[in-house]
Amino acid sequence: MQICLVEQMCTVKLKITACQIPLPNQSAVAMEAATVLRQRLGDKTPQLGVVLGSGLGFWADRALANPLRVPYMELPDFPRSTVPGHHGSFVLGELQGHTILCMQGRVHYYEGYSLQQVTLPIRVMAALGIQGLILTNAAGGIAKHLHPGDPMVLCDHINFLGSNPLIGPVKPDETRFPDMSEVYCRRWRAGFHAHLGRTGQAEAAEGVYLATTGPSFETPAEIEAFARLGADAVGMSTVPEAIVARQLGLPVFAFSCITNYAAGRSPGPLSHEEVGETAAGAEDRLSALLEAAIISFTVTNQKLEC
Ligand code: HPA
């Protein structure tokens, strides 16, 4: 009986230890996935990585020339989305002479993946040579001026996940305490807004994105609290990916599609279906904004220092 108890305690201790040091494993998984992906993609080095969120899932199929697709399921131990409406493939292709590596679908913390697993694809894309990262997502609008269908360019974020993807051992060539005072590259944003102006496109608002774990939507009291903290929009992704990208020294640009008024900002209940429908309806505008972001990165500077 006593031996049994000791055994049980050891098992628990081993499990805890395994949870606390997931990074070496994930590093190995990232390296293996990068090796397989590189073999599948041939000798093309991507310049930009793009994570396609709700409303942009099909963008890579429509916009990229000479697309090459690698489903996540073909990469060893690669996390796969369990959420309806989220695809699961890398797509590499050309846009205006530039090579773009897209993620059609991402995984979320609320699916039960660790933050290290959620951000593993960013490490894979970095290993493949991307020089900048564009993140897109769906979000609930908190600020009064944001309405369903509107875009919001992230100028900053609040990590309300209660954790951080960088917790755990750090590799010798990585920063332990990366600076987060300008996560979303100011120069890239300026280039983007200038491009919208030059091409006669409507202006896009900037705002602060707050990340929650989900998967339950927020209560009206939580949204009121987030508003007082300075959040303009709320969502369940992006922040872990942006943190890892900054640790790796990648410039980041991100925008949200406001798919709904956040809880308590409109009379009805929130639903995942509403999020999907609004994002699908905003597809054309989101595609134009994504292309503006890509053009303003490459036009501004091939090696943007942010
Ligand atoms: N809350 C959290 N995440 C979201 C929302 C929301 O209202 N809309 C889209 N993603």
Catalytic residue status for 73: no
Q: Give the torsion sign (CA, 273, 278, 283, 289).
A: negative
93 CA distance to ligand 1 middle (Å): 30
Catalytic residue status for 86: yes
Catalytic residue status for 145: no
The pLDDT tens digits of the residues spanning 232-270 come to: 999 999 999 999 999 999 999 999 999 999 999 987 888
pLDDT at 7: 45
The one catalytic residue among 81, 272, 277, 283? 272
Name the residue among 300, 252, 283, 294 with its Cα closest to residue 95: 294
pLDDT at 304: 57
- Pocket probe for ligand 1: among 111, 209, 217, 226, the residue whose CB has the most ligand atoms within 8 Å is 217
299 CA distance to ligand 1 middle (Å): 33
**Using a 6 Å cutoff on CB, does residue 141 contact ligand 1?**
no
Residue-averaged pLDDT of the chain? 88
Within 10 angstroms of residue 173's Cβ, the number of other Cβ atoms is 6
**Using a 6 Å cutoff on CB, does residue 223 contact ligand 1?**
no
68 CA distance to ligand 1 middle (Å): 31
Q: What is the 3-state secondary structure (H, E, C) of 204-259?
A: CEEEEEEECCCCCCCCHHHHHHHHHHCCCEEECCCHHHHHHHHHCCCCEEEEEEEE
The pLDDT tens digits of the residues spanning 144-192 come to: 999 999 999 999 999 999 999 999 988 888 899 999 999 999 999 999 9
Catalytic residue status for 159: no
**Using a 6 Å cutoff on CB, does residue 222 contact ligand 1?**
no
User: Model confidence at 10, in pLDDT bands (50, 70, 90)?
Assistant: very low
Which atom of ligand 1 sits closest to the CA of residue 270? 7
Q: Give the torsion sign (CA, 76, 81, 85, 86).
A: negative
262 CA distance to ligand 1 middle (Å): 7
Residue 47: C-alpha distances to residues 99, 125, 192 (Å): 6, 10, 17
